[in-house]
Structure 1
Amino acid sequence: MSVLGTIINVAAILVGGFLGLIFRKGLPERISTTITHGLSLGIMMLGISMGVQTQNFLIVLISLALGAVIGEALNIEGHLNSLGGRLERKFEGGENSSFAQGFVTASLLYCTGSMAIMGAIEGGISGTYTILVTKALLDGIFAIIFASTMGVGVLFAAVPVLLYQGAITLAAGTIKVFLTDPMITEMNAVGGVLIMGIGINLLEIKSLRLGNLIPAIFIPILLLWLMSCFGFSL
């Protein structure tokens, strides 16, 4: 079992975030806005490419619906924004900065998708971390761009990454038994929908409570397990 991959991932986010803050100081607002728009379109394309991998669109829809019910009941988005707001007041002291947006947006992007899950499981089962090193490179690049446009809140997204991936690594032996290839495929597809939503939020097309959809990522595990137990398909 090795959490080194997660530590590398966290380090990449922090380094990229600090570089982004340095660039931010000399970045005109119009350039920052255009970068955000371009990044938003790229994120939407990434989400679409992940979403179309689904082998059963009904599973994605049911997962999103059930995940929304659970997420709204738990008010995950509210808790994330509240945490971001408290961190903002403590470390920036302002009420109008983009701290909370950067924290929530980056946290969702870094923790959504199969690379976070499968990379953490790889570290827990085999002690290797090839997937997470690749993810670290991507996350570091995103951290540079996000921090240059949304500020220091992006750096604090390293904390959820550490807790989320670290927990999966520690529980990898148990999780691996239950995860099948179809489950991973559908989890990835649901994650793609959420990533597409991040792009929509960044473009300010519509404010989506994506935090409350996080449970949807794990619903395919339950659905496909129940389908296998009772021998039916959607």
Structure 2
Amino acid sequence: MLGTLVNTSAVVIGSAIGLTAGTHLPSGIKIILMQALGLATTVIGLRMALEAQHVLLAIGCLLLGGVSGELLCIEQRLEGLADRLRRTLRSDSSRFVEGFVTATLLYLTGAMTIVGSIQDGTIGDPSVLLLKSLLDGVASVALASSLGIGVLFSALPVLLVQGGITLLAAQLSFLSQPVVLDAINATGGLLILGIGINLLEIGRIRVANLLPALGYAIIGALLFS
């Protein structure tokens, strides 16, 4: 659990720095930080998707995942959870929901979450999650300075999801098979690309409704292998 605890702390610390610094930053700097993060996220997503060998599988899973996510209203439910959290905390942040949803998806949609959690849980190697912690901490500074306190509370899903995978790592070790990781990278890369497009405000993609694609990617990879 060391990697997850460090990752959660990095999100909290990065968000706190962003919230503190955000009040002193001109709006132009906040905008350029979000654009820089959006560009970086887009490049990372593209690289992950294009380096994978099973891109067609990822596209098929994305289509199936989108239909499933829309029927299950995943993004709406996640936004509802964020809004209930905002009301519970009596936050007056107008971008609380956007910050919570955007940060949660960004931190949990990559293969590093699964690979790092499995390595940490099975062989006690937190190195991947420690690297992810550095990336998430830097991203938290930029996100929190623009989107507000909702980014800070995305640390809770990071703790629960990564911690859960780490604790179940012995039963989930099949996720570390190369063919499965390739499918996760390809599909996760497309999802991260969607997050980048949202950050750049090019369009509005309901990325959370595409999350079932990761499940389809794992199943498809295991079947085709």
Q: What is the match of residue 5 of structure 1?
A: 3
2:33 is the alignment partner of 1:35: yes
Q: Distance in 2 between matches of 1:225 and 1:199?
A: 29
Q: What is the match of residue 126 of structure 1?
A: 123
1:214 Cα offset (Å) = 0.9
> Over aligned residues, Cα RMSD in angstroms?
1.4
Describe the superposition over 1:49-89 as per-residue Cα deviations: whole angstroms up to 9, x where unpaired. Answer: 11111202210111101111221222110111111112223
1:166 Cα offset (Å) = 1.0
Q: Does structure 2 conserve the Cα–Cα contact (< 8 Å) formed by 1:124 and 1:169?
A: yes
1:92 Cα offset (Å) = 4.7
Q: What is the match of residue 49 of structure 2?
A: 51
Q: How does 1:1-234 map to 2 (within 5 A)?
A: 3-94=1-92, 97-177=94-174, 179-228=176-225
Q: Distance in 2 between matches of 1:225 and 1:202?
A: 33
Q: Distance in 1 between matches of 2:151 and 2:175?
A: 33
TM-score, normalization by structure 2: 0.95
Q: Distance in 2 between matches of 1:59 and 1:221?
A: 10
Q: Distance in 1 between matches of 2:106 and 2:78?
A: 14
Tell me the amino acid that sits aligned with residue 223 of structure 2: L
* Percentage of matched positions with identical amino acids: 43
TM-score, normalization by structure 1: 0.92
Tell me the secondary structure at the aligned position of residue 174 of structure 1: coil
Q: Which structure has the greater CA radius of gyration?
A: 1
Q: Which runs of 5+ in 2 are unaligned?
A: none
Tell me the amino acid that sits aligned with residue 200 of structure 1: I
Q: Does structure 1 conserve the Cα–Cα contact (< 8 Å) formed by 2:30 and 2:142?
A: no
Q: Say how many residue pairs are matched.
A: 225
Q: Distance in 2 between matches of 1:112 and 1:155?
A: 17
1:218 Cα offset (Å) = 2.4
Moved over 6 A (4+): none
Q: Which runs of 5+ in 1 are unaligned?
A: 229-234
